[in-house]
Amino acid sequence: MTAQAGARARTRLGPSGVAAAGALLAILVAVIAPSALAPGDPLAIAPAQAFSPPSWAHPFGTDESGRDLFTRVVHGATASAGIGLAATAIGIGIGLVLGFAGALGPAWLDAAIARVVEVLFALPTLVMALLLVAVIGPGTGASVLAIGIATAPGYARILRARLRGVVRSEYVRFARHEGAGPLTVFTRHIAPNTLWPLVATATLGVGQAIVWVSALSFLGLGALPPSPEWGAMLNAGRVYISTAWWMTVFPGLAIVATATVLTVLGRRASGAGGAA
């Protein structure tokens, strides 16, 4: 029975989904227990081995201080993915407040929130994050908060649109006619049919947040060297790109691979939610 269930799951995911799930498992191991994959110290320097190209001893080469890039990329998953998750959580939290207040509140509040969200949504996320970092100040915490606030309008817009459709649905009206109280209607009908699309969107959002946070670090507005954060590693390696290409290629591949995996799985989740 377990084998049949696994076969059905693989069929639903498809080859790309299975590959993405396997890659996600490796990323999760790197996030939760990076020392299991790379037991070395990501900050340990060895000046005599600086700028060593990829080899058996150093699969990703070394940087300008002789630090092992494989170790730094693996340990950087904790920082980059953790920052992306935190930023997404902030964005979803703000989006939930705005979305529920707009869709379930009075008409004047809905109109006011809708206008604010439309104005904020018109700004590109990275541009808005840059503006917020300029006000708050650079740093890891500031970049997390800036990306979270910048992504909130998108989540609020999705939630508001979904809520308005669910609240006006026939099954919600039927439940109310049957005498169900507001809390029962909300917990049994509105919330389950509203939050799943947001969960699927958040899976995509984590990958996007990792890219945006890495972009801020690359610009020197987020995590700073020698932190083993992928964007900061790109920032440090850009100076040596013509002589030590591995310093930018491997952190960049880590960002692209993580964002791609989360995008594939997020689209699969969106499709499963729509089919349900």
Q: Tell me the average pLDDT across 183-199.
A: 77
pLDDT band at 52 (very low <50, low <70, confident <90, very high): very high
Residue 234: what pLDDT?
A: 92
- Kindly state the average pLDDT of the residues 234-244: 92
Q: What pLDDT digit, counting tens, does each position of 113-133 carry?
A: 888 888 887 888 888 888 888
- Greater confidence (220 vs 272) lies with 220
Whether the per-residue pLDDT at 10 is higher than 70: the answer is no
CA 186 distance to own-chain centroid: 28
pLDDT in tens, 214-227: 889 898 888 877 88
Instruction: Give the residue carrying structure tokens 């500031």.
Output: 142
Q: Is the pLDDT of residue 180 over 80?
A: no
Share of the chain above pLDDT 90, in %: 31
- pLDDT given for residue 185 in this prediction: 75
Report the amino acid identity of residue 43: L
Q: What is the mean pLDDT of residues 267-276?
A: 58
Q: Distance (Å, rounded) from C-alpha 238 to C-alpha 242?
A: 8
Q: How would DSSP label each residue in the chain?
A: -HHHHHHHHHHHHHHHHHHHHHHHHHHHHHHH-HHHH--S-TT---GGGTTPPS-SSSTT-B-TT--BHHHHHHHHHHHHHHHHHHHHHHHHHHHHHHHHHHHHS-HHHHHHHHHHHHHHHHS-HHHHHHHHHHHH-SSHHHHHHHHHHHHHHHHHHHHHHHHHHHHTSHHHHHHHHTT--HHHHIIIIIHHHHHHHHHHHHHHHHHHHHHHHHHHHHTTSSS-TTS--HHHHHHHHGGGTTT-THHHHHHHHHHHHHHHHHHHHHHHHHHHHHH-
Q: What is the mean pLDDT of residues 29-40?
A: 91
pLDDT interval class at 269 (50, 70, 90) = low
- Cβ–Cβ contacts within 10 Å for residue 40, how many? 15
What would the mean pLDDT of 17-29 be, rounded to a whole number? 84
- Give the pLDDT of residue 207: 87
pLDDT above 70: residue 8 = no
Q: CB 265: neighbour CB atoms within 10 A? A: 22
Thinking of the domain 62-275, which architecture would CATH place it in?
A: Orthogonal Bundle (1.10)
> Token pair of 168, please?
């006006």
